[in-house]
Amino acid sequence: MDTKRIISETEKFVKRKLLGEGSGHDWWHILRVWNLAKQIAKSENVNIFVVELAALLHDIADWKFHNGDESAGTKLAEEWLTSQGVDKRTIKTVKEIIEDVSFMGAGVKKKNRSKEGKVVQDADRLDAMGAIGVARCFAYGGNKNREIYNPDIKPVLHQTSEKYKKSSSPSINHFYEKLLLLKDLMNTKTAKKMAIKRHEFMEQYLKEFFSEWKGVT
């Protein structure tokens, strides 16, 4: 199996599919996650081929844009990998990683079924943090026609994936419902270190946001 060719063709496939997407789940998100996953993988004993494939395909058909269908991504990924001659064991692992990668609510505990999955999940979560995470949060909120902030709507720590998926709260709430929780959910030592700076940036951003909201600065 020509792994380099498969990675290259998968890169082209995903880029064609997601380039220009406007919610923050675009090709550039995939590229950043791919690069982060490769960086994290250097310190982990993992199958890099699986890591790269899963990083490239993890958002190929995100449930958020497919009427909540959590199987859309795995179906498309399986079709693509099968067409490229990837073995069934690798396809199974990549599908499991795609199924496990998403944050589905503060009270929802999901376990990764592979070390490769932990790496990809960490990379994906890091891209939801820091300066880029802030930008993506508001890009997604605008895409979904959500308010930036509404002081009358309080954040909710969702206890089920169903409630999380149905949420339409303002973008600022998303910091408290997900983004600020990610630092303590990292799997690998490398990602845990990287998450600290990004977490601190978001805290500082919120401090400034609420200061401006009150007309203090």
Q: What is the pLDDT of residue 111?
A: 80
Cα dihedral 129/131/134/137 (nearest 10): -70
Report residue 176 as tokens. Answer: 């408290």
CA 21 vs. chain centroid, Å, equals 15
Query: Among 30-34, 80-84, 165-169, which is the least confidently predicted range?
Result: 165-169
* Total number of domains constituting the chain: 1
* Average of per-residue pLDDT across 156-180: 93
Higher-pLDDT residue of 49, 20: 49
At 83-138, the pLDDT tens digits run 999 999 999 999 999 999 988 888 888 788 999 999 999 999 999 999 999 999 99
At 188-208, the pLDDT tens digits run 999 999 999 999 999 999 999
127: CATH: 1.10.3210.50
77, exposed or middle or buried, with CB in 10 Å at 0-12, 13-18, 19+?
A: buried
Q: What is the pLDDT of residue 125?
A: 97
Does the pLDDT value for residue 60 go beyond 70?
Answer: yes
CA-based torsion, 192, 198, 204, 207: positive or negative: negative
Enclosing domain of residue 191 = 3-213
183, exposed or middle or buried, with CB in 10 Å at 0-12, 13-18, 19+?
A: buried
